[in-house]
């Protein structure tokens, strides 16, 4: 594991519903802000996917998800931000084991003052362990991250996705755009084995019913022992509007209030926009 001389974030006591009271249309992209639509609180009903999708979901492949939240310095320039994110993104082409990457500037402000988020997918825990120790990664941290940031947090968990190339590698048109939503949860210790798993299962079932809004959802128990959050969830939404619809829906509210809120001692929810990769990062 990598040990950094960066201050770790203090605990955030937040047991209320993890949703934004006014979800902004101005969602931050990889290198800045862009207007992606207007706020809408829309009623919806999720429909169960067709038989082919249900069949595909029976075939699953284990993956390991890595979430890194950064606290960039307030005087970070646009060029410094681009340098930092470029090197983090292109690390997938220089280090084996990285299956997919998405990253961006967090939309709005978080109570723990995180400014940027990085999501990486690995084939196995072993690949993630090698990544943490890779000299190239350590160089990226030293030269292109530590000078621009004053804090970070890592969350790692194992999950499953459809056993197909596009879902595993997060490729194809569905993954070119959208909103990445990261939800970190610290369950009370007494709830870890039973109620926590039940809550996560309920959320997973809800996301599977909403394929018109959600491209993919993974979740799992955090095995990075240096952090206080016990579980992580990453949901890729098809658009900002889909993100707004889901988080303001009665279904999500009911699941959170009945399953999560009674047993969650701390939560952190962030989101960032995903732009197509092509001429932007090279």
**pLDDT tens readout for residues 108-149:** 878 789 999 999 999 999 999 999 999 999 999 999 999 999
Contact 268, 110 (CB under 8 A): yes
Contact 218, 155 (CB under 8 A): no
Contact 23, 244 (CB under 8 A): yes
C-alpha distances in Å from residue 3, one per residue of 50, 145, 184, 221: 47, 14, 22, 21
Give the C-alpha separation, 188 to 208, whole Å.
26
Residue-wise burial string across 252-269, b where 16 or more C-beta atoms lie within 10 A, e elsewhere: beebbeebbeebbbbbbb
Give the C-alpha separation, 147 to 151, whole Å.
11
pTM of the model: 0.81
Structure tokens at 84: 């930092």
Q: At residue 16, does pLDDT exceed 50?
A: no
Mean pLDDT of the chain, nearest integer: 83
Q: At residue 42, does pLDDT exceed 90?
A: no
């Amino acid at each position: 594991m990598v040990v950094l001389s960066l201050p770790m974030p203090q605990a955030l006591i937040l047991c209320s519903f993890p949703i934004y009271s006014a979800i902004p249309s101005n969602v931050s992209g990889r290198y800045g802000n862009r207007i992606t639509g207007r706020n809408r609180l829309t009623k919806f009903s999720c429909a169960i996917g067709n038989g082919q999708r249900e069949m595909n979901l029976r075939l699953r492949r284990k993956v390991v998800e890595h979430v890194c939240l950064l606290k960039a310095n307030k005087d970070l320039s646009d060029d410094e931000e681009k340098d930092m994110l470029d090197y983090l993104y292109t690390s997938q082409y220089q280090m084996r084991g990285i299956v997919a990457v998405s990253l961006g500037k967090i939309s709005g402000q978080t109570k723990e003052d995180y400014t940027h988020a990085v999501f990486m997918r690995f084939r196995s825990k072993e690949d993630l362990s090698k990544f943490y120790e890779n000299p190239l990664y350590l160089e990226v941290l030293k030269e292109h991250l530590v000078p621009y940031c004053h804090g970070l947090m890592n969350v790692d968990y194992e999950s499953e996705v459809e056993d197909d190339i596009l879902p595993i590698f997060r490729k194809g048109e569905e993954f070119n755009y959208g909103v990445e939503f990261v939800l970190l949860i610290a369950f009370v210790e007494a709830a870890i084995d039973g109620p926590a798993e039940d809550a996560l299962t309920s959320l997973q079932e809800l996301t599977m019913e909403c394929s018109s809004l959600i491209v993919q959802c993974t979740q799992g128990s955090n095995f990075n022992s240096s952090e206080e959050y016990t579980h992580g969830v990453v949901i890729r939404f098809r658009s900002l509007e889909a993100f707004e619809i889901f988080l303001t829906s009665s279904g999500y509210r009911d699941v959170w209030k009945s399953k999560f809120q009674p047993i969650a001692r701390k939560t952190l929810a962030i989101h960032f926009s995903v732009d197509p990769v092509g001429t932007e990062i090279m």
